[in-house]
Amino acid sequence: MQWGSTALAFYEVGAAALAASVATLRKRLELSQAKYPSLAGHARIARRLARFVPFYEYSPERFFCSDGAPRDIAERRRAAFEELSQIYRARFAETIRCTAAAAQTLSDLQFTGTYRVPFQYRSLVRAHLPSASFVASSHGVTLTDLDGNASYDLTGSYGVNLLGNDFYKGTIERGAARVRELGPVLGSYHPVVAENAQMLRAISGLDEVSFHMSGTEAVMQAVRLARYHTRRSHVVCFSGAYHGWWSDVQPGIGNPLAARQTYMLRELSDSTLWILRKRRNIACVLINPLQAMHPNVAPPSDSALIDSGRNARFDRARYADWLKQLRAVCTERGIVLIFDEVFVGFRLAKGGAQEYFGVRADLVTYGKTLGGGLPVGVVCGRHELMKRFSDERPADICLARGTFNSHPYVMAAMNEFLHALEAPQIDALYRDLDNVWNARADALNALLAAADLPVRVANMSSIWTVCYTEPSRYNWMLQYYLRTEGLMLSWIGTGRVIFSLDYSDADFRAIADRFVAAASAMKRDGWWWRDAAATNRSIRRAVLKEIIAHRVSKLRGAV
């Protein structure tokens, strides 16, 4: 009898343990189904694998025929590379000199100078086509470097430059004049702060506003508030989406630590909606509407351009539908829906992505252009979510500070920006925005097709990315041809082309002609020669084989 009841107890404990492990396994499986099947969708695996990628590079001979190009093509490429290098050194002499000197002390320059092209090619590129990262002035839609060369500005100042550099010179100057009497006094507010809050309330359709110093900080605060009010731990963000460089929203490569309270899930997926319905620990869902251009894929950068697999296609209706589904699940489950509009806010519509996609968020973050040219981050939200303390529990607070928050000069430039949005011509600009930029993208694509060039652009309004239609290992060279034609990109190269809205049709025609000239020169120089059997897949496989071979030989060398 005694033995029988002990055995029964064991059996019951065993059965309970088994049931618990099956339940845990099922939860794990559900979670993994809601992840995008790529490294971008699996942050931990990506971070682990990244440690095993060894540095190796192509010899000066292989550099020109890493795709198996025949000798004559490799020679043509080499001659063109040398010619381009001479043009660079002559035309950008002072700018290059200054960049190289500053890079010794500016860590950021060392990083951006290194990550411009796939690492296998970088030493030769850096030696022959060195970075020229300084500019002396801006006028209209052009930037002038230290050698006096004017180039069209396609950098968009990381998205800040929405209405043109001259516009922001004005907002900063007028703003500074308005707060000059107060100066840089912090802690107390200049009256423009209150007016900004009112104006942002109207624009966002939300009750309250808090000011921060950068987009990253605005996102930190929005997530912190969501955790505070829901008493839940986890944040959901989507594969590939950038939300600044705070650890919790950057679970993949680039963050030395694993983000343990972040679920990085698949966008536009029923499995994700399932997880949101099932899990009880989710405080918020963070959306970066820019991902609508390339859902689940990391922001495009030429340093990762080893083949022509980069793709983008913006489908407004599909993305709006997805946001509506997310909205419904978040409402049903008490999850805070955060729109991170730091990039797209004011670029798609005056009322931002909420207006553009017709979906309301609980919290919205803004930044970049909203500072009127000065650094800023903003959170707008419903009253009950923005509250930072509890009436019943005085020690229960959600702290958010920041010495420079509500800086009078920033607030005054912001105020100028917000007032400028009220002008009738800005209304007209917004009304026709998508038509104008879609037509421009179509026009450039028609020119590229007519010239039989393997390049196309894809766009979400004034935010563009360059895609490549034939498998190639050398697409990253286009950034150097574009610079030679007077088109300036940011360090991520052809991945992001960001236009300010002051580009006239004539400016745009000039850009399009230069773009076609650059791509034609690149084609003439043999960079797009192609082995008929090559595919993007075969290129990726070949690179993977190289990586494994180098890893193995390094391990052997270490033994």
Residues that bind ligand PLP (CB under 6 A): 158, 214-216, 219, 242-244, 288, 340, 342-343, 367
Closer to ligand PLP by CB, 118 or 159: give it: 159
Q: Are 499 and 464 in contact (CB under 8 A)?
A: yes
Task: For the CB of residue 420, give the shortest distance to ligand PLP in the complex, in Å.
Answer: 21
What is the C-alpha radius of gyration for the chain, rounded to an integer number of angstroms? 26
What's the closest the beta carbon of residue 288 comes to ligand PLP, in angstroms?
4
DSSP 298: P
Taking the alpha carbons at both ends of the chain, their separation in whole angstroms is 62
CB of 70 to ligand PLP, least distance (A): 43
Of all residues in the shown chain, the one whose CB is closest to ligand PLP is 215
**Upper half-sphere CA count for residue 245 (Cβ side, 13 Å):** 5
* Nearer of residues 212 and 227 to ligand PLP, judged by Cβ: 212
Residue 234, beta-bridge partner list: 282
Provide the 3-class DSSP secondary structure of residue 97: helix
Based on DSSP, count helices (H) and strands (E) in the chain, helices before strands.
Answer: 19, 14
Closest approach, Cβ 158 to ligand PLP, in A, equals 6
Q: Where are the beta strands (DSSP E) in 19-101?
A: none
Task: Give the other-Cβ count within 10 Å of 272's Cβ.
Answer: 25
Q: CB-wise, 275 or 342, nearer to ligand PLP?
A: 342
Residues paired with 332 in a beta bridge: none
Residue with Cβ nearer ligand PLP (289 or 454): 289
- In whole angstroms, the minimum distance from the beta carbon of 292 to ligand PLP comes to 12
Nearer residue to ligand PLP within complex by CB, 165 or 216: 216
Question: Which one, 400 or 542, has the nearer CB to ligand PLP?
Answer: 400
Please name which of 433, 226, 201 lies closest in space to residue 316, comparing C-alpha atoms: 433
Residue 115 Cβ vs ligand PLP, minimum distance, rounded to whole Å? 16
Q: Which is nearer to ligand PLP, 216 or 500 (CB)?
A: 216
Please, what's the largest Cα pairwise distance for the chain? 97
Contacts of 297 (CB under 8 A, 6+ apart): 38, 40, 239, 240, 291, 311
Pairing of strands 377-381, 363-367: antiparallel
